[in-house]
Structure 1
């Protein structure tokens, strides 16, 4: 009888211990708010645990590691940044570190953003590390890019450049020969950057590209204002009217001074503008001017264009812009 009683007590104690252990492993932590945990590449549970304990996410490192070996997965912890909700249990914490999705942060490059502003945007991101590398104009594909806390700025920049190289190769492979006199992918980027800066209306891209392609075909100067501004500001907004001296300056970019393409791109064009240059709208227009609604009106002859310009001037005068 005594043996049965002792056995029952021992079983009860064992059951209580198991329940206590399970409660310790599965119960809520003392953390009262969502916290961020950054796991460096090559970190282990042993090296990470003291920091988790200081944050209140782990009650005690020694039993935590023991429970992890006994009850957790054999998978290693991941590198990255993880959000740990308030009250996360020890078991759930381990699962997040082993199998959860790291926090994804985004940096967006709008269509037509020049490389000087791309570099400034990367430099201003506090979660990135290292210096911003040289970013050639026209080498970045406008898009949103994810990055992790602690990632190198150079790595993010190279992803942007790799995306442009891939997109340009794909669009170049689909080009329609003879539609526009650009003979290389590099020339395509140059003209696409002008198209990007000349219209913010997606529906106009192919029409504007068609105008510039028509001008190139007949040896006519492109006369694009953004090519005058680029050497002055490196693509940043000018903030004033273009000076006569700037229109007359032979900078290698100024398309009012020379026929043909400028010396290089004046911005980072989006994929749609690249596609527009390689498949421009077929028309006979060689002029265009703003129409007062955010778009443009196109003309085949100079007299038609002059009439459109007068209408635009009248709109600007009515708005007291001139």
Structure 2
């Protein structure tokens, strides 16, 4: 009798072990296999929340098949206490394992509402936008001019939300004065800052948090520009008429202001390199304008003949070589173009009516290009 009981107990134990092993294998497969999510969603992880609430939220949105299994997997991976507050994009079909990684690895939020402060050459704006998970694109909720428009209620509301992200976009070609002036209008930043050296700020996208200081942001911009310039200088072409990274930055700022067509920056740079090599004056309007405005705003009119003849340190129709400082903050592409220009014989260029320029080697060819540009200007004036 006891033998039968022992035999049956052993049988049940063996069966139980197999069933438990099978359950573990199933759970592991379920945890790592593609999940039930039919389309991407945004998942918010509030500050102070826990894995239980996050798992229940995911189950309610049909992102995971089992909240309990999600929690057990996170616990087994020792990530239960690693939740990072933010809003995260969870892609279609993401596995539980992938979702645990998304909500625990940290870094910038990838979903939700974002406020973008754009500092442009001619204007500044504030845009409130929200990511549409289905398309992966941002949808504009409201946009306004911080200096001219009344602050919309939508902006005030999202600014107070804990998961809103704030980003500052610095356009290529803005001056340091413009940057400091516009940073002063951004109400999530604190403190004051002096205008830094022209050209020392890297145009880029900078994520900030409420209460960040303007000084710390300027330091980030300067550090980034230093890295970009050092790398470009180390990889520069041979035999350039540029004696230092500072001179390269000056030339890059001129290239930046002369063209908005990224593909022709190396050609524009080649014109100025060729002029420097032959001892010809640079004769570029943006430097003259900077001598008038000192970078404090936009001139807003054409140059006068008296200004083109006026002797200032920035009038490249009068001075030899480069002006004493950059005339704007150039982006990476213009810095690289200045230090690796196209190999051309171009000496001249003029607008061609398409947004780009017509380049020329000889003065006769250039005069024909200028005449054509005058015709285009006249035709536009008569329309």
User: Is the partner of 1:251 in helix, strand or coil?
Assistant: coil
**Does 1:256 pair with 2:314?**
no
Work out which of the residue numbers 212, 226, 245 in structure 1 matches 2:286: 226
**Does 1:246 pair with 2:304?**
no
Q: Which residue of 2 aligns with 1:56?
A: none
Q: Which residue of 2 aligns with 1:169?
A: 230
Work out which of the residue numbers 139, 148, 157 in structure 1 matches 2:209: 148
CA distance in 2, matches of 1:127, 1:151: 7
Work out which of the residue numbers 334, 337, 342 in structure 2 matches 1:281: 342
Change (3 A) 1:320 1:168: same
Could you tell me whether the CA contact under 8 Å between 1:122 and 1:132 is conserved in 2?
no
User: Is the partner of 1:319 in helix, strand or coil?
Assistant: helix
How many residues are aligned here?
A: 243
Runs of 4 or more above 2 Å deviation:
73-78, 99-104, 234-237
Q: Which residue of 1 aligns with 2:53?
A: none
Q: Which residue of 2 aligns with 1:184?
A: 244
1:101 deviation in Å? 6.2
1:234 deviation in Å? 2.6
**Larger relative contact order (CA 8 Å, sep ≥ 6):** 1
> Could you state the TM-score of these two structures normalised by the residue count of structure 1?
0.69
1:75 deviation in Å? 7.2
CA distance in 2, matches of 1:234, 1:124: 21
Please give the per-residue CA displacement for 1:246-279, whole angstroms capped at 9, x wherever unaligned. Answer: 1122210110111200011000001000100111
User: Is the partner of 2:350 in helix, strand or coil?
Assistant: strand
**Does 1:202 pair with 2:267?**
no
Please give the per-residue CA displacement for 1:48-69, whole angstroms capped at 9, x wherever unaligned. Answer: xxxxxxxxxxxxxxxxxxxxxx
1:122 deviation in Å? 1.0
CA distance in 1, matches of 2:378, 2:292: 28
Q: Which residue of 2 aligns with 1:193?
A: 253
Could you tell me whether the CA contact under 8 Å between 1:133 and 1:153 is conserved in 2?
no
CA distance in 2, matches of 1:215, 1:264: 18
* Structure with a larger share of its residues in strand: 2
CA distance in 1, matches of 2:277, 2:261: 24
Work out which of the residue numbers 304, 315, 328 in structure 2 matches 1:267: 328
Structure 1 unaligned runs (5+)? 1-34, 40-44, 46-72, 84-95
Could you tell me whether the CA contact under 8 Å between 1:212 and 1:286 is conserved in 2?
yes
Could you tell me whether the CA contact under 8 Å between 2:177 and 2:195 is conserved in 1?
no
User: Is the partner of 1:108 in helix, strand or coil?
Assistant: strand
CA distance in 2, matches of 1:116, 1:185: 22
Q: What is the correspondence of 1:131-142 to structure 2 with a 5 Å cutoff?
A: 131-142=192-203
1:74 deviation in Å? 11
Could you tell me whether the CA contact under 8 Å between 1:133 and 1:157 is conserved in 2?
no
Could you tell me whether the CA contact under 8 Å between 1:122 and 1:153 is conserved in 2?
yes
Q: Which residue of 1 aligns with 2:189?
A: 128
Q: Which residue of 2 aligns with 1:211?
A: 271
Change (3 A) 1:82 1:234: farther
CA distance in 1, matches of 2:373, 2:178: 31
Work out which of the residue numbers 134, 156, 159 in structure 1 matches 2:220: 159
CA distance in 1, matches of 2:292, 2:362: 31
Q: Which residue of 1 aligns with 2:381?
A: 320
1:187 deviation in Å? 0.2
1:306 deviation in Å? 0.7
Range 240-249 or range 219-228, more displaced: 240-249
1:133 deviation in Å? 2.8
Q: What is the correspondence of 1:22-41 to structure 2 with a 5 Å cutoff?
A: none
1:312 deviation in Å? 0.5
CA distance in 2, matches of 1:77, 1:276: 44
1:245 deviation in Å? 2.0
